[in-house]
Amino acid sequence: MTIEWRYTTRADLGVLSLAGYLGADATDRFTGAIGWALARGTGPVILDLTGLLGWSAGGQIAVAQAARRLAEHGRSLELAAIPADGSLVPDATCPPVPVHCDLPSALAAHGAQDAVRQWTTDDWPTGQAAEAPALT
């Protein structure tokens, strides 16, 4: 099983939503999604884990690596809705990763405006509640 992702830009931040399972076989796809976010947005990246079924230790390491990669570009990573089966435990080389209980709380913490643009993988679940209409 792999992940699907949706990236939505807002005025001063981006939201990268994941669906599926973030295991070792999905880390390359996740790394690519982080690259997409770096190339197409500004400000913090909120990693929305609402649709994530779970993550392995390798998936958690990939998230910590994403936080370091974003920090190298002057951007931060924040988490929303961590899966119940574990929490991210970054090592000392990882920048701080704020955690929000859910996506609405994360957006409210930033006073986020409406979505500007959105991209998804081809198999993004249609039953997944969209935070904004798809704009391509």
pLDDT digits (tens, 9 = 90+) for 24-54: 999 999 999 999 999 999 999 999 999 999 9
Confidence at residue 71, expressed as pLDDT on a 0 to 100 scale: 96
The DSSP bridge partners found for residue 16 are 7, 47
Q: Residue 83 — very low, low, confident or very high, per pLDDT cuts 50/70/90?
A: confident
Domain boundaries, the chain: 3-120
Nearest CA to 45 out of 102, 107, 94 is that of 107
Residue 101 has pLDDT above 70, yes or no: yes
Give the pLDDT mean for 58-80.
Answer: 95
Residue 135 has pLDDT above 60, yes or no: no
Topology adopted by domain 3-120: Transcription Regulator spoIIAA (3.30.750)
Q: Residue 112 — very low, low, confident or very high, per pLDDT cuts 50/70/90?
A: confident
Per DSSP, the three-state class of 98 is coil
Q: Strand runs (DSSP E) across the chain, as ranges? A: 3-9, 14-22, 45-55, 77-80, 99-100, 117-120
Residue identified by tokens 């999905």 is: 26
Confidence at residue 86, expressed as pLDDT on a 0 to 100 scale: 59
The DSSP bridge partners found for residue 18 are 5
Confidence at residue 89, expressed as pLDDT on a 0 to 100 scale: 64
Residue 121 has pLDDT above 70, yes or no: yes
Confidence at residue 70, expressed as pLDDT on a 0 to 100 scale: 97
Q: Residue 116 — very low, low, confident or very high, per pLDDT cuts 50/70/90?
A: confident
